[in-house]
Amino acid sequence: MLYLYYGDYMKNKNVVFMGTPDFAVPVLEMLIEKTNVVMVVCQPDKKVGRRQELLYNPVKNVALKNNIPVFQPTKIRTNFEDLKNLKIDLIVTCAYGQIIPKEVLEMPKYGAVNVHASILPKYRGSAPIQWAIMNGDKETGITIMFMDEGMDSGDIIKIAKIPILALDNVGTMHDKLSILGKNTLESVLEDLFNNTVKSIKQPSNYTLAPMLKREDEKIDFKEEGIKIINKIRALSPWPLAYFCLNGKEIKVINATYEKLNGTEIGKVKVTKNTFKIGCNDGYICLKNIKPFGKKEMEIKNYLNGIDLNMYNNMEVE
**Kind plus residue range of the DSSP H or E element containing 133:** helix 128-134
DSSP 3-state of 308: helix
What's the confidence (pLDDT) of residue 49? 75
Residue 233 CA to its chain's centroid (Å):
13
Give Cα 280 distance to the centre of its chain: 29
Asked if 287 and 300 touch (Cβ cutoff 8 Å), the reply is: no
pLDDT at position 259: 95
What are the residue boundaries of the structural domains of the chain, listed by start? Answer: 2-194, 214-311
The predicted model scores a pTM of: 0.94
Please give the pLDDT value at position 7. Answer: 56
The conformation of residue 42, written as its DSSP 8-state character, comes to: -
Half-sphere exposure of 149 toward its Cβ, with a 13 Å CA cutoff?
Answer: 5
pLDDT of residue 47: 79
- Measured CA to CA, the distance from residue 91 to residue 114 in angstroms comes to 8
The pLDDT of residue 173 is 98
Rounded CA gap, 276 and 267, in Å?
Answer: 8
Which phi and psi angles does 212 have, rounded to 5°? -70, 140
b/e map 58-81, b = 16+ CB within 10 Å: bbbebbeeeebebbbbeebeeebe
Pick the CATH number of 2-194 from 3.90.550.10, 3.40.50.720, 3.30.360.10, 3.40.50.170: 3.40.50.170
Burial class (CB in 10 A: 0-12, 13-18, 19+), 263: buried
What fold is seen in the domain 214-311?
A: Methionyl-tRNA Fmet Formyltransferase; Chain A, domain 2 (3.10.25)
Angle between helices 25-34 and 2-11 (to 10 degrees): 120
Mean pLDDT by 10 residues, the chain (317 residues): 56 97 98 98 87 89 98 96 96 96 97 98 97 98 96 97 97 98 97 95 94 96 98 97 96 97 93 96 98 96 93 94
The strand pairing partners of 161, in sequence order, are 141
